[in-house]
Amino acid sequence: MPNQLPLFETDDYDFAPPTVASPVLKWAGGKKWVIDLVGKGIWGRLQRTRGRYFEPFLGGGALALWLGFSHDEPAMILGDTVKPLMELYRELVSSPGAVAFALSALAIKGVDKECYYEVRDSRPEERLQRAARMLYLNRLCFNGLYRENKKGDFNVPYGDAAYRKSVVGRKSRDAIGALFPHKGKLEAVAEALKHADLLTQDFAETLSTAGDGVVVYCFTPGASVLTDDEQYVPIEDVTVGDRLFGGRKVEKCIRRAYDGDVLRIRVQGSPFTASVTTDHPMLMIPGRSAETRQDTRAITDLAAEMRFERADSLLVGDYVLLPTVGREAPVAWNAFWPLDVAPQARGVVLREDPEALGRLIGYYAAEGHTEWRDGKPIRTVWSFGRHEPHYVKDVVALCEKLFGGLTHGNGIHVYEGCPHDTVTQIKVSSAFVARFIYALAPGKTRSTNPDERYTSRLADQLMTAPIDVQREILRGWLRGDGGTWITPERGKTKLTGTGCALMLMLQMYRLAQRCGVRPSWKWRGNGADVYFSIAEDIEALGFPTTPRKRQTCATRRFVGPYLAVRVREITRLQYAGTVYNLEVDGDHHLCVDGVISHNCDPPYDGTFDTYSAAGFGEEGQVRLADEL
């Protein structure tokens, strides 16, 4: 037989027992990487509380194996819905040597494609043979995936040839270690799990047995999750497969009943108030020393102190981290250009200039509206104060530049004192342009229909547009719906944009974060303000400031791809109801309620202490911005 491997149990092989138990399976979403970060903290909490370790998504079991092998008799409740997986673990606990021998019998037949499919198509009746089959298929299938068809049969194809080639030409002993776990490794797993309850059941059933004193960290309903396409979605509406901030993919959605304390955390300048269970890990930096009046630490010092901490260990004055950068993609402007309007409008041609289009859309989001006839948009209108002729000229120039066939006096008209003496309006009479602009900035601010009132927003594509385009959107919006307030005697300038369409306001707040400036949020009446009070940010958006001495903004500083802002208020409340969490791939970070935290991988049963932040930037290093 080609690619033969020798039996594991021979007199020639004297494998030294491992110092720790490690996974014997390749498994998606493995937790081996977190052992160094959280293992000691979890074990320390178990020792102090005499508690139990719950893991409802066992998979490869890296953290559970480390806990079980390294320490005496931890009480562990381990579960998974994959029946062959849990059957394998139970068989390993009872007969690791027998499983090793059965696996070697399959391995000696060969590891080629023909042998793989022969084993995959087999249906062993004995549990021992099924356990060996599970191990054999897992080590040779594509990427260690586990998938079943509607009949419940394993149907993952044969794996990547590159993996098998990595062992070709090696000595037999090396080949065994590369492809299949040896007897000593299986015995270590058996030792680690000998005191564990191994349950084949849904995660909710596993967690329902947790009882008092066992917590899986979570968010309360309504928490806003930032997605990869820059939308804010209620956490209960997120589904498996969705892409969240940074492109992270949702692998599990978790919901459970909870009765205990939650923390309401308000941070400086944010529209959100985070609501989390007490042990949810938040990315943070400790606040300044009580002995100093101002935080004078350098960016490198702040980065060195960045770590995850339980929510109930946060103090007012500590820093939490907000997102800045996000995914960028060119806007398909032509996709918004209508194709079914009246023939007389077809002489209008779109001339693409992304930055000019961005600024025009910003102006429209602030001061524009669409006129309708028979349920169809026919005209686009911008309204400015009579004291803003420079903005009127800019909008006219943009329209002439972008829409071929339209000129001032021919499709583009300016009306001073209309509809009031203090207002100047620009009207573009083109169904093409009206449809185009409304598609890029849909919704209405004022309407006789209450359901349509204050529904203005930007099209989804604009939320991932290149930063130069987004900066122009912000600039146009702030010119129309904002302005600067200057106090020369104090040397301060404040740039503020205001509105009542909350979705649009949240979008502008997020655009500002993506553009590398530091927005603040203030609720007012039935609307909100997005404002900027740092001179560098105001100037970056194209507005003048008062001359003053440049200084570091100690309370709002960029640290790598995040903005560090201070915690303003923490309130502890009693809560009884449903809580939610998500498991995502990659570095397991997600942005919920505007701040960066850790997902539910792994779930902790009251064992969470602290662990350092990793995975920022390339090669696990924190990328540092220049100190401002």
pLDDT tens sequence across 196-235: 888 887 766 666 666 554 544 577 778 899 999 999 988 8
Q: Which two tokens stand for residue 527?
A: 């609307």
Quote the radius of gyration of the chain (alpha carbons, Å).
30
State the DSSP string of 128-191. Answer: HHHHHHHHHHHHHBGGG---B-TTS-B-PPB--HHHHHTTTTS-HHHHHHHHS--HHHHHHHHH
Q: Is the pLDDT confidence value at 112 over 60?
A: yes
At 336 the three-state DSSP class reads helix
Q: Which of 84, 89, 67, 85 is nearest to 76 (CA)?
A: 67
Contacts from 453-459 at CB under 8 Å and sequence distance 24+?
454/500, 454/501, 454/502, 455/501, 455/503, 456/365, 456/499, 456/501, 456/503, 456/504, 457/501, 457/503, 457/504, 457/507, 458/361, 458/365, 458/504, 458/507, 459/336
Say if residues 420 and 403 touch (Cβ distance below 8 Å): no
Q: Is the pLDDT confidence value at 412 over 70?
A: yes
Alpha-carbon gap, residue 466 to 459, rounded angstroms: 14
Alpha-carbon gap, residue 180 to 139, rounded angstroms: 7
Q: What is the pLDDT of residue 614?
A: 30
Q: Is the pLDDT confidence value at 9 over 60?
A: no
What is the pLDDT confidence band of residue 63, given thresholds at 50, 70 and 90?
confident
**pLDDT (mean) for 112-134:** 90
Cα 328 from chain centroid (whole Å): 15
Across 142-151, 324-333, 617-626, the highest mean pLDDT is recorded for 324-333
Alpha-carbon gap, residue 49 to 605, rounded angstroms: 11
Q: Check the CA dihedral 16-22-23-29 and report its sign.
A: negative
Alpha-carbon gap, residue 369 to 376, rounded angstroms: 13
Q: What is the per-residue pLDDT across 451-478, written as a single tens digit (0 to 9) for each? A: 565 678 999 999 999 999 999 999 999 9
Q: Which fold has domain 333-460?
A: Endonuclease I-creI (3.10.28)
Q: Where are the beta strands (DSSP E) in 46-127?
A: 52-55, 75-80
Q: Domain 32-208, what architecture?
A: Orthogonal Bundle (1.10)
162 or 558: which carries more pLDDT confidence?
558
Q: Which two tokens stand for residue 199?
A: 């349950």
Alpha-carbon gap, residue 565 to 594, rounded angstroms: 11
Say if residues 567 and 574 touch (Cβ distance below 8 Å): no
Burial environment of residue 293 by CB neighbours within 10 A (0 to 12, 13 to 18, 19 or more)? exposed
Q: What is the pLDDT of residue 47?
A: 65
- Count the neighbouring beta carbons within 10 Å of the beta carbon of residue 491: 13
Say if residues 589 and 17 touch (Cβ distance below 8 Å): no
Taking the model in full, what pTM does it have? 0.64
At 200 the three-state DSSP class reads strand
Instruction: Tell me where in the chain the CATH 2.170.16.10 domain(s) lie.
Output: 224-324+561-620
What is the pLDDT confidence band of residue 104, given thresholds at 50, 70 and 90?
confident
Q: What is the pLDDT of residue 208?
A: 64
Q: Which of 235, 238, 237 is nearest to 223 (CA)?
A: 235
Q: By percentage, how much of the chain surpasses pLDDT 90? A: 36
Q: Is the pLDDT confidence value at 561 over 80?
A: yes
Q: Is the pLDDT confidence value at 532 over 60?
A: yes
Instruction: Tell me where in the chain the CATH 1.10.1020.10 domain(s) lie.
Output: 32-208
Query: Which of 3.30.70.3000, 2.60.120.260, 2.170.16.10, 3.40.605.10 is the CATH number of 224-324+561-620?
Result: 2.170.16.10
**486 DSSP 8-state letter:** E
Tell me what the pLDDT averaged over the chain comes to. Answer: 79
For 342, phi then psi, to 5°, come to: -60, 145
Q: Is the pLDDT confidence value at 2 over 50?
A: no
Say which amino acid occupies 92: L
Across 240-244, 607-611, 614-618, the highest mean pLDDT is recorded for 240-244
Instruction: Tell me where in the chain the CATH 3.10.28 domain(s) lie.
Output: 333-460
Say if residues 242 and 494 touch (Cβ distance below 8 Å): no
Q: Which two tokens stand for residue 496?
A: 């503020």
Alpha-carbon gap, residue 380 to 76, rounded angstroms: 65
**CA atoms within a 13 Å half-sphere pointing along the CA-CB vector of 102:** 22
Say if residues 578 and 255 touch (Cβ distance below 8 Å): yes
Q: Is the pLDDT confidence value at 482 over 60?
A: yes
Say if residues 29 and 585 touch (Cβ distance below 8 Å): yes
Alpha-carbon gap, residue 331 to 198, rounded angstroms: 51
